[in-house]
Amino acid sequence: MEQESDDVSNIHNRFSLTLVNPSSHYFSLVVSLVVASVMVLATYFGYLGNLGFEQNWYRLPIVLGVLVATQLLDTRFSKKKEFSKSLHSSLFGNMLWTVTVLMGILSSVVLAKEIELFFIVFGLLLFASFRIGIYTTTLGASLKKAWAICFIQPLAMYFVLIPQDMWLSILYEPVGLAYGISFMIIASVWSVLTDRAGRPGMESTHKTIQAYLASQGNDFEDAEELMEQRSSETKVTTSQLRLSSPNGKTDFRMVLPEIHPGPYHPVGGSNIPYLIYKNLSSSAMVMHSISDHSLNLPSRNEVESYLKKIEDSKVKEEGLHCTEPVTVQINKARVTGLLFGNNPFLFLSLSPHGMEDIPSYMKTEIEQYAENRNYARAMIVDCHNAMGEEISKEDGEDMLKAAKSCLDSLITKESYPIEFGYANSDDMDVWTEDLGMGGLGVVCLVINSKKYFLGWADANNMENGIREKIIDNFSKRDYNLLEICTSDTHYAPVKARNRNGYYQLGLITSADKLSKWFLEIAKVAESETTTAKFEILENEANVKVMGQGIYEDYSKALDNSLKITKAFVIGGVLFFITSLFL
């Protein structure tokens, strides 16, 4: 499981490179106009000074007009007809041309030599070579098509930039042609090599990148198709603890799906906690089970299939009694447990220190220990309430010791009748960028005349220390908040432009505001407590999950592509520098 976590983290880091794109296509439009203006001015004041900008000032607005027109035309050549990508690529291409022109001027000043006109056509062809790379990698064009259309924007701008009687003399500058055509060949070779970087596991790296980029605009069909092709069917278990009042009017469930939210918004089961929550009439806490990204559902089809199947859950055990909670802390590791009948419910956390998904070997060991102690079935929750890396060996051992100690203590505890009350934030205005569609929920358990609260957030993890601040605020009001859990949803209300790709709970919303919301919900839950019976429900379903191999192949392809790109960039920069000394 450590390798799986490394692969997922690596993929996430590689795709975070897409954040170099401007956040707004309006920004790209404005900056591309500014950059093109600099290029026009540099050309006339640096290279064509004898013609006089005063006599050619009208060329500036014409160049800008042609730039905008060709940006619109470019959308017709991209696979998805996306205007934003056309603008982003135009911006970076124009920057290359402008930098080339400016470097030519700088080299003439520093080296005290005559300015060379070949930098104009060199910059034009660099622009074209960049278009070859961008069209084949992200815009879905074949290499032949990319060559056919790579000249459209730069040549259109060139023909209105340069006086007609100088078109051929500048275009046929032999040094500029030699350098420019060399870079076009380099771009073509780079495109072929990076596309094949993931073979044999991945046929086309470019198609994967294109599908990912399209999914960021809610066009997720290609991404789901690619993932579903690589997925395999497996059996997954969904466990539930159901609390209900004698008259059946009040019903609440804690759900532990063996599947994992993901892979990323909006693909596949990224919003699965909320969908389960809604299927259970918004009266549920969908916990993070001991699972990892290999158990992601790859497509909406598999999500719908899974949701239908968990409706057929069967009652495995029922009862009326529960123990008071037991909390065991060993160094950083903390385990809180309750025993419903003969079924222990354990909550595992390292907060405020944090960790990634709890590895499956720990679940196996805890379940085996519970079985050896003659428990019926152990339900284990990964609280997922602080940010961190893969759990260390020392912390893992401490958590296992704490879980086993908690199980040993629960055996000795007396059981009492249960009362419960549940409330959520559905009727409150709690929308925030670090919270998913399921909002917040609190369940109040009354055991042996004592009240205990458990909080839940439909969020992708929590900012470190937020849990402790909320629990402290509860404590000041004599409310015993045992734990706060997140669903680890991969739904994102807004696109987070950071390395994580999401905002963990507490990063945007303050601990005081979250405490206020949780306390308001807790008071409602407290006011609605009623006697209850519990039921343990289980369901086994065959669904397609993404598995481990797909992450290994994706990670390998992206690593190889980046290595190839680094080598070509270093070589290209050194080759470019040689032109400055000619």
Please choose, from the candidates 336, 241, 237, the residue with its C-alpha nearest in 3D space to the C-alpha of residue 291.
237
Q: Residue 80, Cα to own-chain centre: how many angstroms?
A: 22
Query: pLDDT value at position 18?
Result: 60
**Residue 465 CB burial class (10 angstroms; 0-12, 13-18, ≥19):** middle
- Rounded to whole angstroms, how far apart are CA atoms 304 and 298? 11
Number of other residues whose CB lies within 10 A of the CB of residue 151 = 16
pLDDT per residue as tens, the chain (582 positions): 444 445 666 665 655 556 556 667 788 899 999 999 999 999 999 999 888 888 999 999 999 999 999 999 988 887 777 777 788 889 999 999 999 999 999 999 999 899 999 999 999 999 999 999 999 998 888 999 999 999 999 999 999 999 999 999 999 999 999 999 999 999 999 999 999 999 988 899 999 888 888 887 788 899 999 999 999 999 999 999 999 998 878 899 999 999 999 898 889 999 999 999 999 999 999 999 999 889 999 999 999 999 998 888 999 999 999 999 999 999 999 999 999 999 999 999 999 999 989 999 999 999 999 999 999 999 999 999 999 999 999 999 999 999 999 999 999 999 999 999 999 999 999 999 999 999 999 999 999 999 999 999 999 999 999 999 999 999 999 999 999 999 999 998 887 777 777 899 999 999 999 999 999 999 999 999 999 999 999 999 999 999 988 888 888 888 899 999 999 999 999 999 999 998
Please choose, from the candidates 345, 335, 349, 379, the residue with its C-alpha nearest in 3D space to the C-alpha of residue 485.
349
Query: pLDDT value at position 10?
Result: 61
DSSP string, 373-411: TT-S--EEEE---S--SSPPHHHHHHHHHHHHHHHHHHH
Sign of the torsion formed by the C-alpha atoms of 477, 482, 486 and 487: negative
- Rounded to whole angstroms, how far apart are CA atoms 397 and 333? 9
Query: pLDDT value at position 1?
Result: 44
Q: Residue 445, Cα to own-chain centre: how many angstroms?
A: 35
- Rounded to whole angstroms, how far apart are CA atoms 454 and 409? 20
Query: pLDDT value at position 338?
Result: 98
Query: pLDDT value at position 8?
Result: 64
Q: Which two tokens stand for residue 427?
A: 């009727």
DSSP string, 198-253: TTTT-S-HHHHHHHHHHHTTT--HHHHHHHHHH-EEEEEEEEEEEEE-TTS--EEE
The secondary structure element, H or E, covering residue 334 is strand 333-340
Please choose, from the candidates 129, 44, 139, 147, the residue with its C-alpha nearest in 3D space to the C-alpha of residue 93.
129
Query: pLDDT value at position 316?
Result: 94
Say if residues 93 and 153 touch (Cβ distance below 8 Å). yes
Please choose, from the candidates 20, 4, 82, 495, the residue with its C-alpha nearest in 3D space to the C-alpha of residue 266.
495
Say if residues 487 and 272 touch (Cβ distance below 8 Å). no
Q: Which two tokens stand for residue 313?
A: 């859950």
- Rounded to whole angstroms, how far apart are CA atoms 317 and 248? 17
The one-letter code for the residue type at 420 is F
Query: pLDDT value at position 88?
Result: 87
Say if residues 402 and 330 touch (Cβ distance below 8 Å). yes
Number of other residues whose CB lies within 10 A of the CB of residue 95 = 18
Please choose, from the candidates 339, 232, 287, 321, the residue with its C-alpha nearest in 3D space to the C-alpha of residue 485.
287
Say if residues 520 and 477 touch (Cβ distance below 8 Å). no
What's the pTM? 0.89
> Residue with structure tokens 């771009």?
187
3-state secondary structure of 329: strand
- 239 beta partners: 256, 538
Phi, psi (degrees; rounded to nearest 5) at 167: -50, -55
